[in-house]
């Protein structure tokens, strides 16, 4: 073979290596084109782990963005995979190829458009000032003068507050690294801080969990939420736009929106007067059903009655935005598991709910004290068995006894904080809720026991 031929082959080999190397570097793993997604039969969606976007509740995944993404995966005819790298790492995860798109309630802003391409807007929101309902000193933007406003950095909230400062409003912006907006809302509700900012959809959703907050007034013009894709992923972006047009037209978007933001009954307070009244007017209708189900599993019927009240206020037609129904607010999955077909029928609902409680109860057989065991089971019924086990793991890491309720009720609220939930199996949970849930049931239980002796 001639020297010239050797040189030609060498040049071709070198060019081939460069070509392969260039494509490895230039195209992130799973480059996220529509063709790639369909070929692998899966779309990987980047989300945040919180109540507005994606979370596990009673062992089922839900969230406004999650429900939309699930429908989008069905629209494409592929499976849905969710990853949660954290708010500050989302765009890095997108552009490195870890995920195909971001669906996390992200407002479309100029700085973010430099990081990725966005779909058309699918929901209009405004930034709102959040204060405690008893705070009468803040009613308009001028009232924020001299106030500390607590937010997470690198958000559209920071951008807007900096604009207000540059326009002469004297405010002190306090940053909380990696803290979800809903955690700052909780801090307002519990008077740990005075003011925070949240998009209107997040504010509305969290008002059901924290009824002591007040959505005071907007500080921004309307903004659009959008889904983000890597630059030049035009076909995927067009498919997203087509999907949103379709679900707007056929009513699916409205159904999902109403599930989370409109059709909600709030049972977030202990109204003793109402409770006493309903013990007289409603409990007698269901007492025999409750007794029968409780006795079958060796439970005190009065405790089950307290639980039914907490779940539904003895209303067999009660519904929650989460999809649970009936006296015991049973999920579809639990109904199937317990062998019932109509969650609205009192006998079936109580049978399924108490049966499921018993199943959870016996999964804590390592706990020898039956009263403590029941508290763990009740918390699991509310937030999900997996989250309670995660909280027990936190107890162990902190040196707390994982079989004591006094430990668990301290650990569960930590599941709201990323530094804790990022290392758990089941992720984020509204951990204060099961603690309140158990406390209220035990309060109702004490009253029913007292009434039973009168």
Please list the active-site residues.
311
Q: Which two tokens stand for residue 209?
A: 């969990």
Q: Which of 68, 37, 31, 33 is nearest to 53 (CA)?
A: 68
Helix (H, G, I), strand (E, B) or coil at 111: helix
DSSP states of 271-334: -HHHHHHHHHHTHHHHHHHHHHHHHHTT--HHHHHHHHHHHHTT-TT-B-TTS-BTTTTB-HHH
Residue 110's nearest CA partner among 262, 223, 212 is: 223
Contact 125, 109 (CB under 8 A): no
CB 318 within 8 A of CB 265: yes
Confirm if 285 and 315 have CB atoms less than 8 A apart: no
Write out the two tokens for 323: 């999809």
The residue among 386, 375, 346, 358 whose CA lies nearest residue 438 is 375
Q: How many CA atoms lie within 13 A of 38 on its CB side?
A: 9
Between helix 370-383 and helix 385-398 the angle, nearest 10°, is: 120
- Distance CA(367)–CA(277), nearest Å, equals 36
Quickly count: other Cβ atoms within 10 Å of residue 32's Cβ.
23
Neighbours of 19 (CB within 10 A): 10
What's the rounded Cα separation, in Å, for the pair 55 and 426? Answer: 9
Take residue 36 and report the two structure tokens written for it.
């790639």
C-alpha 5/C-alpha 409 separation (Å) is: 77
User: Three-state DSSP class for 187?
Assistant: helix
- Strands (E) across 161-232 are located at 172-175, 195-199, 213-218, 223-229
Helix (H, G, I), strand (E, B) or coil at 120: coil
Integer angstrom CA distances of residue 255 from 39, 183, 248, 250: 31, 27, 10, 10
CB-based burial of residue 122 (10 Å sphere; 0-12 exposed, 13-18 middle, 19+ buried)? buried
- Residue 7 tokens read as 């040189």
């Amino acid at each position: 073979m001639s020297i010239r031929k050797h040189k030609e082959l060498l040049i071709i080999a070198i060019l081939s290596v460069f070509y392969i190397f260039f494509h490895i570097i230039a195209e992130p793993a799973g480059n996220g084109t529509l063709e790639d997604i369909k070929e692998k039969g899966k779309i990987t969606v980047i989300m945040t782990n919180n109540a507005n976007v994606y979370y596990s509740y009673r062992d089922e995944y839900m969230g406004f963005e999650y429900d939309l993404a699930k429908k989008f995966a069905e629209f494409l005819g592929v499976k849905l995979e969710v990853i949660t790298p954290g708010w500050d790492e989302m765009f890095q995860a997108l552009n490195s190829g870890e995920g195909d798109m971001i669906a996390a309630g992200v407002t479309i802003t100029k700085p973010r458009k430099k990081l990725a391409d966005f779909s058309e807007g699918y929901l209009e929101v405004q930034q709102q000032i959040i204060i405690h309902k008893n705070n009468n000193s803040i009613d308009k933007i001028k009232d924020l003068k001299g106030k500390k406003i607590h937010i997470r950095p690198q958000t559209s909230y920071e951008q807007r507050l900096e604009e207000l400062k540059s326009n002469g409003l004297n405010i002190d912006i306090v940053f909380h690294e990696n803290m979800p907006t809903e955690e700052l809302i909780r801090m307002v509700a519990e008077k740990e801080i005075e003011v925070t900012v949240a998009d209107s959809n997040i504010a509305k959703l969290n008002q059901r969990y924290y009824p002591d907050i007040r959505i005071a007034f907007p500080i921004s013009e309307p903004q659009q939420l959008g889904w983000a894709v890597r630059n030049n992923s035009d076909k995927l972006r067009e498919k997203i736009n087509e999907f949103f047009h379709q679900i707007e037209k056929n009513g699916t978007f409205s159904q999902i929106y109403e599930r989370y933001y409109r059709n909600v009954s709030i049972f977030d307070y202990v109204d003793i007067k109402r409770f006493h009244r309903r013990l007289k007017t409603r409990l007698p209708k269901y007492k025999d059903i409750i007794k029968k189900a409780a006795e079958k599993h060796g439970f005190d019927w009065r405790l089950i009655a307290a639980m039914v009240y907490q779940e539904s206020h003895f209303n067999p037609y009660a519904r929650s935005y989460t999809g649970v129904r009936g006296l015991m607010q049973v999920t579809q999955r639990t109904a199937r598991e317990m062998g019932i077909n109509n969650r609205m029928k009192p006998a079936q609902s109580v049978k399924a709910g108490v049966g499921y409680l018993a199943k959870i109860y016996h999964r804590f057989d390592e706990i020898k004290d039956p009263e403590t065991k029941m508290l763990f089971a009740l918390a699991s019924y509310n937030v999900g068995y997996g989250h309670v086990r995660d909280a027990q793991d936190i107890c162990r890491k902190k040196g707390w006894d994982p079989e004591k309720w006094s430990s668990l009720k301290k650990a569960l609220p930590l599941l709201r904080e990323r530094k804790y939930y990022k290392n758990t199996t089941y992720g984020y949970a509204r951990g204060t809720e099961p603690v309140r849930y158990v406390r209220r049931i035990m309060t109702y239980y004490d009253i029913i026991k007292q009434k039973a002796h009168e």
